[in-house]
Amino acid sequence: MSTDATAPAVKLAVIYYSSTGTVTALAKEINNAAEKAGAEVRLRRTTELAPQAAIDSNPAWAANVAATADIPEATPDDMDWADAVIFGTPTRFGNVSSQLKQFLDQLSGLWAEGKLADKVYSGFTSSATLHGGQESTLLALYTTFHHFGGLTAAPGYTHPAKFVDGNPYGTSHTDAKGDNPVDDTARAAARVQAERVVRIARGVKAGLAG
């Protein structure tokens, strides 16, 4: 995707939690698409809160922990640095995972200083079953962005790929408890979302600078 060389560079943080790897795969797709769109990207995972016994009881969970050990853990500094942030979380009873929520709850200092305002935000998710709380999870996440004073950039139905995946709130995937790996439909939606966030963030940054 071509970019305007005179446009301001966009700093994007992709901050996510993943247990068995579905959200990890989506995060990496978003990371790669955003870089191709000209953004400087920080890919960050949130701290795992589950006990080791729980992780070890699920081979896919243990494998994802090992496979992502080289991805840095997210810190509030990543939020301060970024012009835009795309958050990823599996759905937990129709809501945000505790691991991502704990990270969000660490941001009160930046919020109090107004450092979370005027950034562009978006989100992506996954669930084991069809629908499975995907939309309510994203809407719950977006409520936080309103408190930040942020600008929510949902993908909407702004691209033909979004009529295929059918979720205007963000990228989502149904993994059927590991039986349905991230497919081309979800990857296309992730790329659309990444490109849209980078494009909007670039415009916002240029407008605020002016």
Q: Could you read off the pLDDT of 94-119 as tens digits, one per residue?
A: 999 999 999 999 999 999 999 999 99
AA letter at 3: T
pLDDT for 131 equals: 85
Helix/strand/coil (H, E, C) string of 163-199?
A: HHHCCCCCEEEECHHHCCCCCHHHHHHHHHHHHHHHH
pLDDT for 178 equals: 87
pLDDT for 24 equals: 98
Q: Could you read off the pLDDT of 20-38 as tens digits, one per residue?
A: 999 999 999 999 999 999 9
Kindly report the number of other CB atoms within 10 A of residue 42's CB atom.
18
pLDDT for 6 equals: 64
Q: What is the mean pLDDT of residues 56-82?
A: 97
Give residue for tokens 């059918």.
166
Q: Strand, coil or helix: what is 111?
A: helix
Helices (H), 57-183: 59-67, 76-81, 98-104, 108-112, 134-148, 160-165
How far apart, in whole angstroms, are the C-alpha atoms of residue 153 and residue 122? 5
Examine the pLDDT at 63 and tell me if it is beyond 50.
yes
AA letter at 80: D
pLDDT for 2 equals: 47
* pTM attached to this predicted model: 0.96
Q: Could you read off the pLDDT of 132-174 as tens digits, one per residue?
A: 999 999 999 999 999 999 999 999 999 999 999 999 999 999 9
Domains and CATH numbers, the chain: 11-209 (3.40.50.360)
